[in-house]
Structure 1
Amino acid sequence: MSFRITAASIVAFAAAMPAFAQSFDRVASFPTALNSPEAEESSAEIITATADGMTLIYSDSPAGVIGMIDITDPTDPQPMGEIGLDGEPTAVSALGGTVFVGVNTSESFVEPSGRLAHYVVATGELAGECDLGGQPDSTAVAPDGSFVTVAIENERDEDAGDGRVPQMPAGWVAIIPLDADGMMQCDAQIRADVTGLAEIAPEDPEPEFVDVSEAGEIVVTLQENNHIVVLNAAGEVLSHFSAGAVDLEGVDALDDNALSFTDSLTGVVREPDGIQWIDTDHFVTANEGDMDGGSRGFTVFRKDGTVVHESGPSFEHAVIQIGHYPDGRSDAKGVEPEGMEFAVFNGTPMLFLLSERGSVTGVYDMTDPANPVLVQLLPSGISPEGVVAIPERGLFAVANEVDLRGDGGIGAHVMIYELGEDAPSYPMLTSAGAEELIGWGAISGMVAGEPGTVYAVNDSFYVGSPTIYTIDVTQSPARITDAIAIDFGDVNMDMEGIALDGEGNFWVATEGNLENERYNAFYHVTAAGEIVREIRIPEELEAVQTNSGFEGVALIDGVLWGAQQRPWADDAENTTKLISFNLETEEWGAVVYPLETPETGWIGLSEITLHGDHVYLIERDNQIGEAARVKHITRVPVAELQPAPLGGEYPVVTKEVVRDVLPDLLQTNGYAQDKVEGLAIFEDGTVWVSTDNDGVDDHSGETLFWSFQLN
């Protein structure tokens, strides 16, 4: 089957978003490092909750523990410590106040081993453990508490045999009965045989994810085999079928640092990962893909294998519209739906679908399994892996696995969301409702245009598609209504700033990097996207520049002013320059801007824009999360912009801090983003600010786009 995106379908999606009367918002973010302060790396992968909904438990593979979080107050989660394991935790499933943990103890791919451990959450006491005889992946407890089941994957070695199945030993599904007290009956363990079923490597099934229905039936995905199996509690096969394939249109199939959704893919095998029952006859798969596929969406099946609904590229398109599309995965599996959860909130059956690479949770109303309705998209940490719903408290929580602290980035988080009456706070910026599908990200510079309109540019992450975006800020969320593709030819652009030329066209500033043959320069760009003039900085400046150059541009009385991000070789410590070019005389000049002294890392400029008698700038450090300190909007009197000729003594301007935006960066209850980069100010003093999401590369993809009023 094929799926085509049209203007009508985009508008329909935008109109459908408010279908659910209430909405979720993130209320807290919990760093896993609080539970594992001594670990060099920690993570939150699979997550569950105790029956009272007051404690979250997550698997932390790098630290070799399971971590626990007290969410008695979900807005103020507290660390409860961790339970150390002699092995790698792969999954957790709670029953009452206890938790079952799949523990991988394999010595190698060909000698897999593992156990299922059972702990009392409040005390950390080991209540029991069963030898599984192989490498566990996912776990699930029957709703009636009668058994626990484990997908024994015995995963393949991706470096052996071209990374393909078959690679023995084969996997199976373990089913362990529980007694009336919830204790495991290891001697009664069933090892359900699922070999000989799939068309792909039938001798080597690799069970990936399991779930149990209210009727006590087990469904399991064989991801690498592109197959689905339904079992009863005795391990007998009730049905099995291929997960099938999908034809996709309107996708980006190339990792080329460009947002272009015009490709088609034929016969993409689903290769589902996560799976959830939504009633006793239907379940949903998250079609992440592995060896050959990944259809970028989800599918609703009847348990007999009938496809009831196929999302096609619609989920991915929705992620594209909020700026979370990971172009670096275009040639692989796109947004990669992986984990999911199903629960009923206030009588409405809801599916929570995780995009591993887009770092988004899609919330669907599943009242009609044949017609799921997307009601929300919520931001996450980097690479959401697991999700648990606590409907009796109106909560759900997402475990995000990536820890980038070793590279100066953010650590792993568990994020908590609550159902409420207010309108959702995210997304703050979207292209939903535009006549065509508009992809965007890496917003790096902005300028106020006619009332209600902001123009923005993307940076060199999208070197293959430099674009000027038109944003309608009179709507909530703000809407990208148009995208002007720049005809860049052989110009290597890293657009970091934009200004109006007063005649309906633009000036953009690009940041230089001579190693990449990219120059610090001003470009005159028409409203049609044609470059009509290049003004490259002179040789005496190129001789002292570093790879931190222009980060903004303003046009003041016929003079272009570029904000130099950080000190160059001719600058004193903790100073940078505002560099000028007179369009009439073609003379260059500069003034000195004094920077704050960083506690760690660096501090520099990220924007410059004109308003009234001042130029306003963004001065920020490069720190993220709790390490962030300086995220300021400052201003300098225009009267002090008296440039001295290059090579001499430059006058030092006086700066004034107008606003500390660090509190603003926490308004969605996430962590403080590092890159505050866009600033636009209207004549009435309304200020719009945006963050740069780095093209969703080692980034959550979250873009904050908000306004305030100058005093």
Structure 2
Amino acid sequence: MSNLIITGVIDGPLPGGLPKAIELYAKADIADLSIYGLGSANNGGGTDGEEFTLTGSAAQGDYLYVASEADGFASFFGFAPNFVAAAASINGDDAIELFENGSVVDVFGEINVDGTGQPWDYQDGWAVRKAGTGPDGAAFNVNNWTFSSPDALDNQTSNATASTPFPLGQGGGAGTPAASFLSRLGGLSLGGAEISAFDPTTQQLFVVSGQTTIEVVDLSDPANPTLASTLDLTIFPGGGNIAGANSVAVSNGLVAVAVGAATVTDNGRVVFFNSSGVFQGQLEVGALPDMLTFTPDGATLLVANEAQSAGSDNEPGVLPNPPGSISVIRLDRANLNNSTIQTAGFTAFDGQEAALRAQGVRIFPGVSASVDFEPEYITVSEDGSRAFVTLQENNAIAVVDIATATVTEIQALGTQDHSLAGNGLDASDRDSGSNIQLQPVRGLYMPDAIASFSANGQTYYITANEGDGRGVDEARVSSLTLDPTAFPDAATLQADGNLGRLTVSSIDGDTDGDGDFDQLFAFGSRSFSIWDGAGNQVFDSGDDFEQILAANFPTLLDDGRSDNKGPEPEGVTVGVIGDRTYAFIGLERASGIMAYDVTNPAEARFIQFLPSGSDVSPEGLTLIPADQSPNGQPLL
């Protein structure tokens, strides 16, 4: 008996009869959905066979949605479909066949009968399977279905407001509507928004955008957020000498803001407010404090001081170039100005540059480790004992012992081999659209954001592998001299429609020191990874992002970025919803959110991609758990 069944069909009311879609339900875990396919039988014309083959996997209880196109579906339902396929281009008189290994295992409608006027007619309406029935094999059983009646959706603009809405996720019984896991609830236009932090007591969201203000958003009605107030950082002591706010964090009613100095190489500061916006004090930290976060108990604040050079592209050789560090602040909440500040720096690694490079840590030639290491983002283990800090340009993670404020380890992240199946990439913006191929290139993970979680008593961390260069270390493949032994087809590879346009590292790849390139290293891996506490990779999404976008959201796969870093996974957050752990990854260039179930870290699985619509380039993600949420539901 099939583990996948048809549980719903819809012929929508929007222009063009959109959305047109099929709902499927997984009755058991399905490791490989490619054994299943769909075909439509139009106007009683009989079977057309399997017209679309599914991909990926599904867990027991998942609902999957196959739509004729994405935009109309998302407009009507508020979330994106799992798949887009012409097989779903159905009218209310068309039948649907579900195939397993080439044989029909379930059917909606009679394939040899035009459905107009039939009991199963769903013109401008829908049909949903009765829970507990199916699969029905090749013989349609109308008694196993409930119908809206034809024209029930006429003049309706969304399922949420429809008088007879399609009952999402009910045809299979209890389960998780996978594609509707994320749906847009509300939004607010601001002058910019990069990083946010939520205070559950006041139900306010504090938002920074790199400017000199903090936007305070009233989130008490998540569907209709409003701007409550604006905090002007320039009016506080020293506020006339700041570049802007880079990060914000909230814990137990205390708001901490990382503020960079007007001169990028000067020390920055952390400015504190209470949740009512009243100034509480400030502390000096290292140069360019780029991110900060509290430990779970709220007793300690950690600050990533990126400490870029004075160069316009952060060139390591341009002076001054202050050392990167992590400030470990033991908070005195009674008088924040009396808090104890310790600095976890990298001078202990000076002199070890050759050994670190041999391990795969990327250090610019002629620069010491302590100066070249630039902390980008921090996550803290659930027990509050360790911090994991991304060193983006160095393709590494720094592990900090919080109790001693010491960097105990530098974990080299390695590279993704784009020549291996499942790791392809579109490397050119001159190849007339999406063209994901295996290529003799290695991707430097170079993560931006990082988030930690626990599974089976072990600590794991997730990285969004964006990639980042410094200008002076970037070159296009077409401009390099390739080793003739390693790249005998160099002329072909260096064509603009192949690898020629791809931006790669100009300081990595000459393994024998003879002046030509034996390997090619791209910036970022266009993926997210899961690592254990020792720095071992247990999962990587490979080319999932580009493949999912190309197949289902081709208009969001910006081919103009293919020669750089593709979709650019930048932000990541993780949390428990129900009894499952989920990761959410923001794609800056594709303007959307990828959702994965990471309950089993080694077998993470794709759940959904949600386009962010008019909200472009997601930077930072914040997950509000249900027990802190204004409406009792988890919010992203």
**What TM bracket, shorter-length normalisation?**
0.5 to 0.7
Tell me, yes or no, if the aligned pair for 2:286 and 2:307 is still in contact at 8 Å. no
The 5 A counterparts of 1:236-385 are 236-248=406-418, 249-256=423-430, 257-279=432-454, 281-291=459-469, 292=505, 293-320=523-550, 321-323=552-554, 324-380=556-612, 381-385=615-619
Q: Which residue of structure 1 lines up, in the alignment, with residue 232 of structure 2?
A: 84
Q: Which residue of structure 2 lines up, in the alignment, with residue 25 of structure 1?
A: 183
| Distance apart, 1:18 and its partner CA | 3.8
Cα 1:373/1:14, change in 2 over 3 Å: closer
Aligned partner (choices 346, 367, 383) of residue 215 of structure 1: 383
The 5 A counterparts of 1:283-682 are 283-291=461-469, 292=505, 293-320=523-550, 321-323=552-554, 324-380=556-612, 381-392=615-626
Deviation per CA, 1:278-302, whole angstroms, max 9, x where unpaired? 1252101110000241000011111
- Counterpart CA distance in 2 for 1:258 and 1:229 is 38
- Counterpart CA distance in 1 for 2:296 and 2:334 is 12
Aligned partner (choices 150, 153, 158) of residue 303 of structure 2: 150
* Number of residues of Structure 1 aligned to a counterpart in Structure 2: 383
Tell me, yes or no, if the aligned pair for 2:269 and 2:286 is still in contact at 8 Å. yes
The 4+ residue runs of structure 1 with deviation greater than 6 A are 5-10, 163-167
Query: Larger strand proportion, structure 1 or 2?
Result: 1
Partner letter of residue 416 of structure 2?
V
- Counterpart CA distance in 2 for 1:164 and 1:232 is 30
Q: Which residue of structure 2 lines up, in the alignment, with residue 35 of structure 1?
A: none
Deviation per CA, 1:396-436, whole angstroms, max 9, x where unpaired? 9xxxxxxxxxxxxxxxxxxx99669xxxxxxxxxxxxxxxx
Q: Which has the higher contact order (CA 8 A, sep 6+)?
A: 1
| Distance apart, 1:98 and its partner CA | 2.4
Q: Which residue of structure 2 lines up, in the alignment, with residue 454 of structure 1?
A: none
Q: Answer yes or no: is 1:12 the counterpart of 2:161.
A: no
Tell me, yes or no, if the aligned pair for 1:106 and 1:135 is still in contact at 8 Å. no
Deviation per CA, 1:90-127, whole angstroms, max 9, x where unpaired? 0000112221000001414xx322100111122x1111
- Report which stretch shifted further, 259-268 or 85-94: 259-268
- Counterpart CA distance in 2 for 1:145 and 1:72 is 23
Q: Which residue of structure 2 lines up, in the alignment, with residue 611 of structure 1?
A: none
- Counterpart CA distance in 2 for 1:165 and 1:189 is 28
Q: Secondary structure at the match of 2:548?
A: helix
- Counterpart CA distance in 1 for 2:312 and 2:389 is 25
- Counterpart CA distance in 1 for 2:334 and 2:399 is 24
Q: Answer yes or no: is 1:228 the counterpart of 2:403.
A: no
- Counterpart CA distance in 2 for 1:368 and 1:205 is 32
Cα 1:166/1:298, change in 2 over 3 Å: farther
Cα 1:304/1:165, change in 2 over 3 Å: farther
- Counterpart CA distance in 2 for 1:134 and 1:194 is 14
Tell me, yes or no, if the aligned pair for 1:246 and 1:295 is still in contact at 8 Å. yes
- Counterpart CA distance in 2 for 1:303 and 1:229 is 11
Cα 1:334/1:157, change in 2 over 3 Å: farther
Cα 1:301/1:14, change in 2 over 3 Å: closer
Tell me, yes or no, if the aligned pair for 2:378 and 2:390 is still in contact at 8 Å. yes
Tell me, yes or no, if the aligned pair for 1:92 and 1:99 is still in contact at 8 Å. yes
The 5 A counterparts of 1:155-174 are 155-156=308-309, 159=312, 168-174=321-327
| Distance apart, 1:219 and its partner CA | 0.7
Tell me, yes or no, if the aligned pair for 1:106 and 1:113 is still in contact at 8 Å. no
Q: Which residue of structure 2 lines up, in the alignment, with residue 94 of structure 1?
A: 250
Q: Answer yes or no: is 1:60 the counterpart of 2:209.
A: yes
Q: Which residue of structure 1 lines up, in the alignment, with residue 495 of structure 2?
A: none
Partner letter of residue 13 of structure 1?
G
Q: Secondary structure at the match of 1:133?
A: strand
- Counterpart CA distance in 1 for 2:291 and 2:604 is 26
Tell me, yes or no, if the aligned pair for 2:623 and 2:634 is still in contact at 8 Å. no
- Counterpart CA distance in 1 for 2:375 and 2:603 is 28
Tell me, yes or no, if the aligned pair for 1:18 and 1:375 is still in contact at 8 Å. no
Tell me, yes or no, if the aligned pair for 2:626 and 2:632 is still in contact at 8 Å. no
Q: Answer yes or no: is 1:104 the counterpart of 2:334.
A: no
- Counterpart CA distance in 2 for 1:344 and 1:276 is 13
Tell me, yes or no, if the aligned pair for 1:172 and 1:194 is still in contact at 8 Å. yes
Partner letter of residue 184 of structure 2?
R
Q: Which residue of structure 1 lines up, in the alignment, with residue 195 of structure 2?
A: 46
State TM-score, norm by structure 1.
0.50
| Distance apart, 1:315 and its partner CA | 2.6
| Distance apart, 1:319 and its partner CA | 2.9
Cα 1:93/1:117, change in 2 over 3 Å: same
Cα 1:393/1:166, change in 2 over 3 Å: farther
- Counterpart CA distance in 1 for 2:387 and 2:195 is 19
Q: Secondary structure at the match of 2:287?
A: coil
Q: Answer yes or no: is 1:115 the counterpart of 2:283.
A: no
| Distance apart, 1:376 and its partner CA | 1.6
| Distance apart, 1:258 and its partner CA | 1.9
Tell me, yes or no, if the aligned pair for 2:286 and 2:327 is still in contact at 8 Å. no
Tell me, yes or no, if the aligned pair for 1:240 and 1:305 is still in contact at 8 Å. no
- Counterpart CA distance in 2 for 1:241 and 1:172 is 16
| Distance apart, 1:263 and its partner CA | 4.5
Q: Which residue of structure 2 lines up, in the alignment, with residue 650 of structure 1?
A: none
Cα 1:6/1:158, change in 2 over 3 Å: farther
Partner letter of residue 342 of structure 1?
V
Tell me, yes or no, if the aligned pair for 1:340 and 1:353 is still in contact at 8 Å. yes
- Counterpart CA distance in 2 for 1:69 and 1:359 is 22
Cα 1:25/1:160, change in 2 over 3 Å: closer
Cα 1:54/1:350, change in 2 over 3 Å: same
| Distance apart, 1:167 and its partner CA | 7.3
Partner letter of residue 260 of structure 2?
N
Q: Which residue of structure 1 lines up, in the alignment, with residue 482 of structure 2?
A: none
- Counterpart CA distance in 2 for 1:362 and 1:345 is 16
Aligned partner (choices 191, 202, 222) of residue 343 of structure 2: 191
Tell me, yes or no, if the aligned pair for 2:282 and 2:337 is still in contact at 8 Å. no
Partner letter of residue 191 of structure 1?
T
Cα 1:95/1:298, change in 2 over 3 Å: same
Partner letter of residue 176 of structure 2?
A
| Distance apart, 1:135 and its partner CA | 1.2
Partner letter of residue 405 of structure 2?
G
Tell me, yes or no, if the aligned pair for 2:376 and 2:391 is still in contact at 8 Å. yes
State TM-score, norm by structure 2.
0.56
Q: Secondary structure at the match of 1:145?
A: coil
Tell me, yes or no, if the aligned pair for 2:436 and 2:547 is still in contact at 8 Å. no
- Counterpart CA distance in 2 for 1:167 and 1:8 is 60
- Counterpart CA distance in 1 for 2:608 and 2:453 is 19
Cα 1:224/1:157, change in 2 over 3 Å: farther
Q: Which residue of structure 2 lines up, in the alignment, with residue 466 of structure 1?
A: none
The root-mean-square deviation of aligned C-alpha atoms, in Å, is: 2.9
| Distance apart, 1:348 and its partner CA | 1.6
| Distance apart, 1:162 and its partner CA | 5.8
- Report which stretch shifted further, 20-29 or 159-168: 159-168
Q: Secondary structure at the match of 1:318?
A: helix
Cα 1:352/1:226, change in 2 over 3 Å: same
- Counterpart CA distance in 2 for 1:283 and 1:192 is 20
